[in-house]
Every structure is written in structure tokens, then in C-alpha cells.
Amino acid sequence: MIDHHARRRTLRRAALAGGAAALTAAVALAQPATAAAAAVSAAPAAETPIGLFGRSDPTYDGVLRQSIALLAQDAAGFEPGTPAVDWLLGQQCADGSFLSFRADPQEPCPDVTAADSNATALATQALAALGGHEEQVSAALDWLAGVQNADGGWSFNPGGPSDANSTAVVASAFSAAGQDPAEVRREGNSPFDALSALQLGCDAPEGERGAFAWQPDPESGELSANDAATVDAVLASAGSGLLVDPDATPAVAPTAEPCGVGDEGEDPEGTEETEQEEEPAGQETGEAAATDGASGEEPQAPQTPQLASGAAGAARLTAALDDNGQYLAAPATGTDPGEGEDRLPDFGNTAKAVIALAALGDDAALAGPLGWLSEHHTEWPDHTQSPAALGLLVLAAHAGGASPTDFGGSNLVDALNALGPAPGDGSAGDGDDSADDDSGGGLGAVLWVIALGLLAGIGIGVLLSVRRARARETDAAFGPAEGGEGGKAEETEEKPASATERKAEDDDAKPADEKDGKDGNDTA
């Protein structure tokens, strides 16, 4: 029994620390489990590669943190700098995959088993969001489809058993690139088939129904609810990547389909109708699904199985957030996995929970954790030195409709930009905040140009006024100068005719025959 619990704790912590989690690996630097781990993982790199965000050792998270940083800059309205984009492009292998980090991009990538499905998926999301990299995105998606497992899922490295985090992040990459993950199949199975097999259904304890497990227990096959896995699976089920447009999300509130069974998954009536009871919670169809929605009053189109599954997972996340005070808790560090006092806030997964709930369109559920992050994000250890941590906060603020340039008093975008190459020219900044933010890009520069133009106009006006005044003084003393401003100013006044002008007037007054005779003589 002791070994069994130890194994379960190992599986849970592996999902959090990044052994198979897509994004938690990238934020592990800012959220260490122990002081020793923090000292090792946060050690600065001997020489930070040009174009890379962050200054810590990129061996295990270089591509992940770069991808999140670029997504966050794009979400905030900034055009990532060319060195940053080029660094990410240079990390891609010839077969389309990405490693966690390539120290020497000039060297060929190792065999396929060293490739990182999570890094490949996150890089795909970033390049798809930036646009103009269709060839690289297509190559990455082709590689991911080629290493898909027979159950429809993916592992962290090719060849291993599928896990929920890797499967979800890859599915999100296909969605971000405009492709339907449900159509990506191996032996007839899609990513959502693999995720469905990892979702706790109606036979699980009531408080865990709808959650996803990272992987089944290798011996017993038991599924253990895992918040990190659930967050990623809900986001994938919503058909979204990390970059969520808050103005383009559906109005679907997460709801779990009632199982109609006891707390421990036993039919209180003793009936034999167990087939539907064994399905994952939330896999409703027909009229029951058609009534789901933000209000639950007006009928809506029936949910797809994956959206219903995501809604059930979101309901589980919402309950966990409510229980903890609007944050997700990290795995316990004590000997008992259930020790509440040892469960510290998991800032990274809380931020991703906001993104996932936003992708489902549940504004009511995301308001609590978004507010908690706004108030408590400064307590995230070393987050100001982690591009992935800052990037996730920016993406959460963006998805929730908050300002990343004034998030609980923090300018997350400035902090992120300070860790990597400066954004490119033409960056507009995030919304109206750029008008008050020196780092906001184009609008600030325009205001400076307008101000300088006004000052220049005032200066020219003063100069012209002085020149006119002096000209009038000169005219009064010496008469107007030819071609001068004084002459122009008085040109409408009647002047005495000169001798030449008087002669011309006399000639005009002579009879026509006299003038003709004169002209005729002159001509002769």
C-alpha cells in the first residue's frame, strides 16, 4: 500500500513538474517544488543564446518558454522582434519537429525519440499566431500526425504511452492552426478518444467526476484526478490553443451531466442500465446536451462529445477553484497526498484554468481565478524572471478581458519585453492602454510628433509676427521696399502714377488713327 501511494504521488508530481506536462515544464523555473530544485533549474545559462527570452538554463524549456513569450506579445498587440522569431525558427529540426532546446542549431537533430511533442505543439501555436510561417507550421503538424499513438493520443517523446497533457497540447496546436483535431486519427482513434479514456466518469467519487488523469496507474489502471491534466484537456476540448480571443468565444457554461448513481458509482436502484453510467461525465447527447448554456434557459445546438467532455472537466475545475479560494493547488508535499496545509497555490495552472474557462465562454467561472491572480500574482516566486510565467499571466489577462499592462498594478508586458528582444517596429500595444504606456508602441510616438508639430507651428507663427512688425516699422521710416512685405501689405492702396505710366495713359487716350500711323511708321 505504501508503494502504491508513492507511485501515485510520483505520477501526480511528474505531471506538474513537466515530465509529461506541456506547459508546466516551462513554468517550473518560477514554481520550484524544493529549494534544491529551484537552485538547479533556475541556474543562469553560461551564455544566453541571441534572441532567446530569459536568462536561465534553456536545456529543458527553451522552446516552450520562447513560444509562450511570443504568444503573449502577440496577444498584447506587439509584433515580436525578428531575433526572437528567428531563434524559434532555427530550433526546428529537418523533419518538422522541435526538441526542448538545440544548443547548436547547425548540428542535425538526434533520432526521433529525442523530439518533444509538447515543444513542437507550442512552437506550432506561436508560429501559427504570428502568421507568415505556413511551411514550418505544416511541417510540424505533419510530424505530430506521424508520431500519433494508436489510441489517438501522444506522449511527451515519441514511443511512450499517451498522456493527457501531451495529447491535449497537440490537439490545441491543430486547432490553433485552423485544423480539426477530431480529423487527426490513427487506427480510427482521434485525440478526443484518447482523452475520453483518461477522464474520470460516473464510477468515480462524486468530487472527482469530470476530471482527467495524466496517465492510468501502470499496474492497476486506476485513474487519479489531476488538475494540470484537466486544465489542458478542457482547453483542447474547447477547440482552442493558449491564445484565446475574448470576443470570439461561445456562451457555453461548463456543466456536468448528472450520472444518476451513488457517490461511489453504484446504482442505488440495483438496475442493470450501466452502459451510460460508465461513460465519462459530461458525454451527454440529444435533448440533455441541447439545454446546456450560459443561462440554461434557451435551447442550444447539441454539444459535440468533446465539448461536453470539456464542460464536465470545467465543472470539476470550477469546484476545485471554489474549494481553494479561487486558485488551483499544487500537489501536496507531505507524506499524505491529501494534506491541505501543504498544498500551495499553483499559479501556472490557475492561469491556464482562466484561459480554458474563457475558451468555453464561461465568464462567470473565470472571474474568480482571474481576480485572484490579479491580487496575488506578485507572490509567484521569481515570476518576473520567467518568460513562461509572465507569458501565461499575459495570456490569462487577455483571455479574461483584463489589461496585461495594468494587472493588479503590474505591467506584465513591460516585464516580459525586458526579458528578451525588443518588439519589432509597428507594434501597437494592447488596446487603449498604449496611450498611457510609454512601451505601448505607435500611439505614444504619434502623440510626440503631434506635440512637436504644434510647438513648431507656434514658433513659426511668432517669427512671422515679429517679421511683419519690423517690416511695418521700416515702411513707416523709409517707405516700402520693392518686393518686401511692406509693399505687399499696402499693395491695395492707390499710388501716384510714375512718368512712364502717365505716358502710357496718354498714348491710350490718342485717337486710333494716330496710334495706327505711329505703329505703321515704326513697322516700316
User: Is the model's pLDDT at 232 over the cut of 90?
Assistant: yes
User: Given pLDDT bands bounded at 50, 70 and 90, which one contains residue 3?
Assistant: very low
Q: What is the mean pLDDT of the chain?
A: 76
Average pLDDT over residues 31-60: 64
CB atoms within 10 A of CB 424: 16
Alpha helices for 325-385 (secondary structure H): 347-360, 363-376
Per-residue CA distances from 33 to 224, 330, 334, 345, 385 (Å)? 20, 9, 12, 12, 17
Average pLDDT over residues 452-456: 58
> What confidence tens digit (pLDDT) does each residue in 56-83 have?
999 999 999 999 999 999 999 999 999 9
Model-level pTM greater than 0.75? no
* Coil vs helix vs strand at 212: strand
Percent of the chain with pLDDT over 70: 61
Facing residues of 98 across strands? 92
In this structure, are residues 440 and 414 in contact, taking their beta carbons and an 8 Å threshold? Answer: no
User: Given pLDDT bands bounded at 50, 70 and 90, which one contains residue 15?
Assistant: very low
Query: What pLDDT is stored for residue 300 in this prediction?
Result: 54
Q: What is the dihedral of CA 399, 401, 404, 409, to 10 degrees?
A: -130
> What confidence tens digit (pLDDT) does each residue in 402-445 have?
999 999 999 999 999 999 999 986 555 554 343 333 333 444 44
**What is the rounded CA–CA span in Å between residue 191 and residue 194?**
5
Query: What pLDDT is stored for residue 341 in this prediction?
Result: 55
> What confidence tens digit (pLDDT) does each residue in 322-338 have?
999 999 999 876 555 55
Average pLDDT over residues 124-129: 98
The per-residue DSSP string of 468-484 comes to HHHHHHHHHHH-PPTTS
> What confidence tens digit (pLDDT) does each residue in 344-381 have?
999 999 999 999 999 999 999 999 999 999 999 999 99
